[in-house]
């Protein structure tokens, strides 16, 4: 097991791709290559989807470029479709690697009939019942208490499931975050809390939010283990998150993992990051890019796909995106009367009247 409450982030490979740990896990080559393809896919999709905003087809998007190592590793560390996942609004790398289809992904952004929420959710708020992926919420840290409740139910029912709850660094400044972690610790609920610390809560930098040396150390106050990980190192993320998930499953107690990362893009489509951070800061973190770091490692291992293979993969993803966009749009918009569906098993009389009125005016 890795040490808890370390002063420096746990890392297995350096920025140059060299091993910094004494030994690595014996991951087979196919696992290492899959991590690369999943990170590349997440980056390519993230970059391409900005065009949806420019075309006016969606109104909100939060980029995740720079955070792929944490999100992809987490998807590989859990039991997809078995464990319950409460994600936050920048987790597209996680949900795509978990298996959310591109047509469903795009339908949610566009609000078409393929969207599980039938256009009722805010754009970029994904969910997938078959993956046990709970709908995202924009209210910061609002997913933490119900995630703890899910884990308490799992404990009560005696399952071997765990709950996974992700959030950004800004969430740790919210009361809901404290309430959720405190309750999870007191009740010994099997929940894996993952802080994707990209160091900026909109325009509030980490040092304006906490005086603690890192966020993982806050786990001490709740009586749970805390791990501080280099979120740009996909192998360190995979190793720590895998062990943490199994620790939660085995011991039935909550664990907090902080993955130190960085977002390259703006906080969202409504943000101007030039007002609060410098281009030099962004450039310094891009020099530590998680995909480039992992590619250097794979090259040293003789496993890096050729440039031609990577270009072919990028072209394939682009084709998949174009086909998915056509499929998502082809479904059309949900019918207005669907507004009344899925809330009550028996529609109350006053809503039945309103529904009939709506239909009469179409």
Owning domain of residue 359: 335-362
92 and 163: one domain? Answer: yes
pLDDT at 306: 98
pLDDT above 80 for 52 = no
Is residue 35 helix, strand or coil? Answer: helix
**Would you say residue 8 lies in a domain?**
no
Cα 153 versus chain centre, distance: 23
- In terms of Cβ atoms closer than 10 Å to its own Cβ (0-12, 13-18, 19+), residue 306 is exposed
186 and 121: one domain? Answer: yes
Query: Each residue of 66-80: pLDDT tens digit?
Result: 999 999 999 999 999
Number of domains in the chain: 2
Neighbouring C-beta atoms of residue 90, cutoff 10 Å: 24
Q: What is the mean pLDDT of the chain?
A: 95
Neighbouring C-beta atoms of residue 134, cutoff 10 Å: 20
211 and 257: one domain? Answer: yes
- Whether the CB-CB separation of 69 and 264 falls below 8 Å is answered with no
302 and 362: one domain? Answer: no
275 and 304: one domain? Answer: yes
301 and 222: one domain? Answer: yes
d(CA 335, CA 323): 24
pTM > 0.85: yes or no: yes
pLDDT above 90 for 197 = yes
301 and 357: one domain? Answer: no
292 and 344: one domain? Answer: no
Task: Tokens for 164, please give them.
Answer: 């996974």
81 and 143: one domain? Answer: yes
Task: Tokens for 301, please give them.
Answer: 């291992």
**Would you say residue 9 lies in a domain?**
no
185 and 117: one domain? Answer: yes
**Would you say residue 17 lies in a domain?**
no
Extract the runs of DSSP E, i.e. beta strands, from the chain.
84-86, 163-168, 191-197, 200-201, 204-205, 226-230, 255-260
**Would you say residue 361 lies in a domain?**
yes
194 and 327: one domain? Answer: yes
Of the candidates 277, 293, 284, the one whose C-alpha atom is nearest the C-alpha of residue 232 is 293
**Would you say residue 111 lies in a domain?**
yes
Whichever domain contains 248, its CATH number is: 3.40.50.970
Confidence of residue 49 (pLDDT cuts 50, 70, 90): confident
- Whether the CB-CB separation of 328 and 106 falls below 8 Å is answered with yes
**Would you say residue 54 lies in a domain?**
yes
């Amino acid at each position: 097991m890795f040490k808890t409450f370390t002063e420096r982030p746990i890392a297995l490979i350096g920025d140059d791709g060299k091993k910094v740990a004494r030994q690595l896990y014996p991951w087979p080559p196919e696992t290492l290559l899959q991590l690369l393809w999943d990170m590349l896919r997440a980056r390519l999709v993230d970059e391409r989807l900005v065009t949806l905003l420019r075309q006016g087809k969606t109104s909100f998007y939060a980029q995740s470029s720079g955070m792929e190592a944490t999100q992809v590793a987490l998807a590989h560390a859990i039991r997809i479709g078995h464990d319950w996942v409460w994600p936050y609004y920048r987790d597209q790398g996680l949900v795509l690697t978990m298996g959310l289809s591109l047509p469903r992904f795009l339908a949610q952004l566009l609000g078409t009939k393929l969207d599980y929420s039938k256009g009722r959710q805010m754009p970029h708020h994904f969910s997938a019942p078959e993956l046990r992926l709970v709908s995202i919420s924009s209210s910061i840290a609002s997913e933490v208490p119900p995630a703890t409740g899910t884990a308490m139910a799992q404990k009560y029912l005696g399952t071997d499931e765990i709950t996974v709850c992700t959030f950004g660094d800004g969430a740790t400044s919210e009361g809901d975050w404290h309430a959720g972690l405190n309750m999870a610790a007191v009740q010994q609920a099997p929940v894996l809390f993952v802080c994707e610390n990209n160091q900026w809560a909109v325009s509030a930098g980490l040092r304006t939010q906490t005086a603690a040396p890192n966020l993982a150390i806050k786990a001490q106050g709740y009586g749970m283990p805390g791990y501080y990980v280099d979120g740009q190192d996909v192998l360190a993320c995979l190793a720590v998150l895998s062990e943490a998930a199994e620790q939660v499953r085995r011991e039935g107690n909550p664990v907090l993992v902080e993955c130190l990362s960085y977002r390259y893009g703006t906080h969202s489509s409504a943000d101007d990051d030039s007002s609060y951070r410098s281009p030099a800061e962004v450039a310094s973190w891009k020099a530590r890019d998680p995909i480039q770091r992992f590619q250097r490692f794979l090259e040293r291992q003789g496993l890096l796909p050729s440039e031609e293979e990577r270009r072919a993969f990028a072209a394939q993803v682009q084709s998949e995106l174009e086909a998915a966009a056509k499929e998502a749009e082809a479904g059309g918009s949900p019918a207005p009367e669907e507004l009344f569906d899925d809330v009550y098993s028996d529609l109350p009389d006053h809503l039945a009247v309103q529904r009939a009125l709506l239909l009469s005016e179409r």
